[in-house]
Chain A
Amino acid sequence: MYTTKDGKEIFVLDGHTHFWDGSPENQANVHGKQFIDCFYAYHTNLSPPEELWEKSRFEKYSEDDIYRDLFVDGPDDMAIIQTTVLSDFYKNGFGCIERTHEMAKRHPERFIVNGAFDPRDGEKALEYIHYMKETFDITGVKMYTAEWNGDSKGWALNDPAAYKCFELCDKLGIKNIHVHKGPTIIPLSKDAFSVDDVDYAATDFQNLNWIVEHCGLPRLDDFCWIATQETNVYAGLAVAMPFIHSRPRYFGEVMAELLWWIGEDKILFGSDYAIWTPKWLVEKFWDYQIPEDISAERGGVQLTDEIKEKILGLNAARLYNVDVAQKKAQLAGAPVQIAAE
């Protein structure tokens, strides 16, 4: 819960968080080391100095850490934890659903744990989707199209094998597909960050919600175009958020584009924890206004309190069928507990 200066309580559903183990003990090879090192560079590059973490804590944080950072020190009421397996890089997976589920069951009222699958696994991917539904009752998945799998260094959402998986998701009620467009490596003839495949998948699977993380950046223009045409495409703000600190004008330009093109109902807050912590992001976001000259170029769009409330929680709550009033009452009856350390 974020409480504004005038005492208003804002429901925060953090749409993009992780519970990872990137520690050297879990790294399978140099790629695993470089992967967490890259995340750490994002963290050190875009965090305010007072929010910086030491490397060892960043590589692997505890169940107490995540609970405290999100809900005790942080303003989150609930958080969606994304699964990112990266089994080619990490012995026991980077962020895997079993470990996350173990952590989350201490406070099930606060977490939504999403699954992940790799369509290139064929039949096994389909079996795995069944397993995740039956075992963890997932309602969403995270797709990382730049993930390596043997000789393959990336895939597209409109690959035939992916379509089979999405058909199954639709059938099983796994409605929310978070898409992370990382740099796909091969084929080299393609634009590695292209978001074109989202257009095909969203058109062909109208029942599914497609939440594109970092709002398609660095292909924001293509993304906005697609998300304007497709009613079921949403923008996740992970990675775009921290620019609010390092380059506030730039953040304003991104928000102005999103508000102008796709509108206030289709933008979802995400801290990308543990790359960044939600406390400072939400505080800065609540105090933020799009600079007037930037807003003027986009029909005067502005981040009003009402719009911020939607972005911080109400939009994601709608996608995940969270009844906000009921949830608030439930959480009020089970306030955050500070674990004895």
Chain B
Amino acid sequence: MLVANLSAELELEVRERLDAVTDPELDEPITDLGFVERVEVTDARKVRVEFRLPTYWCSPNFAFLMGFGIRKEVTALPWVVEVEVLLHDHCFGDEVNEGINSGRDYHEVFAKYCDGARLDEVVETFQAKAYDRRQETVLLGVQALGHGPADIVSMTLGQLRDVTFQGEEELRQKPRYLHLLEARGLACDPEDLAFPTWAGDEIEPGALSDHLARLRSTRINMEFNGALCRGLAKTRYKEVEIGPDGPTLIDFISGRVPLREQAALRG
């Protein structure tokens, strides 16, 4: 065994790295969502990450993407010798685990399950949604500070960087929005506009309210999944017990698909 302290430190390092992996549908880190169930680092610096989604039926293409995301992030740590990623209790779990751990490129793995088609279009669609959601929070935050439409649509990246928010959600989303702006090349210089559309277009002052309405509908969809996923992740494997004070939700272990035993049997 690695010295306990060191092992804990390395595991923490892995977990921090996993903050960069998001659920594509929700645009939230899988660590925040509680999907990462276990991180283990062995003496030989092999890392095993076990994760579980809120339901057995969550979209397998996203399960694949998250699994590949985990592999990519953990592999990037310089001390890591080998990575194993395990998805538990999922209807497509065997295929996902085999694909992620095969060492093959993810396009190659996907191709097998979609007649050779690529997943790029779906990935692109969900990146656009993530962008819209981050932008809505920041836009509404700027609007709440008293800026009018003309002011907002002409705001530059440099100006946005200097804006100070108070709200928790704005504070959280602003750096994520800036990151995506730059990563996508939508705004890089301080003079670039801070609020282009995902397609790179400017927003006309008169079109801002329509633009916001569109962002809102994107958020409504994402929130539906977000609320369900968080809630379902929380209640998976819980059951109701009716006591003298009425029904309560308790952890329920006996009916649970055995997690590690099953993995051990397979391995």
Contact = CB atoms under 8 A, between A and B. Distances in A.
Contact of A297 (B56, B110, B214, B216): B216
B122 A41 contact: no
Contacts, number: 136
Interface size class of A (residues with CB under 8 A): 35 or more
Nearest to B257: A30
Interface in B55-94: 55-61, 64, 89, 91-92
Contacts of A52: 240, 247-249
Contacts of B217: 220-221, 224, 257
B113 to A, nearest CB: 5
A219 B221 contact: yes
Interface string B28-61: 0000000000000000000000000011111111
A34 B57 CA distance: 8
B91 A34 contact: yes
B201 interface: no
A55 interface: yes
A185 interface: yes
Contacts of A191: 122, 125
B12 interface: no
B57 A243 contact: no
A218 B91 contact: no
B42 to A, nearest CB: 30
- Per DSSP, are chain B's interface residues mostly helix, strand or loop, or mixed? mixed
Contact of B220 (A190, A192, A253): A253
Interface stretch (A42-50, A131-139, A196-204, A328-336): A42-50
Interface size class of B (residues with CB under 8 A): 35 or more
B247 A189 contact: no
Contacts of B257: 30
Contacts of B119: 188-189
Interface in A205-221: 217-221
Given A49-B247, A50-B247, A220 B239 contact: no
Contacts of A61: none
A145 to B, nearest CB: 13
Interface string A245-266: 0110010011001000000000
B8 interface: no
A221 B221 contact: yes
Given A34-B56, A219-B221, A45 B117 contact: no
B223 interface: yes
B61 A189 contact: yes
A50 B246 contact: yes
Nearest to B223: A250
B172 interface: no
Interface stretch (B146-154, B156-164, B227-235): B227-235
A247 B213 contact: no
8 contacts: A41-B55, A45-B228, A49-B246, A188-B110, A189-B110, A221-B218, A253-B216, A257-B217
By Cβ-Cβ distance, the 5 closest A-B pairs, closest first, are: A187-B114, A34-B56, A45-B231, A189-B114, A189-B117
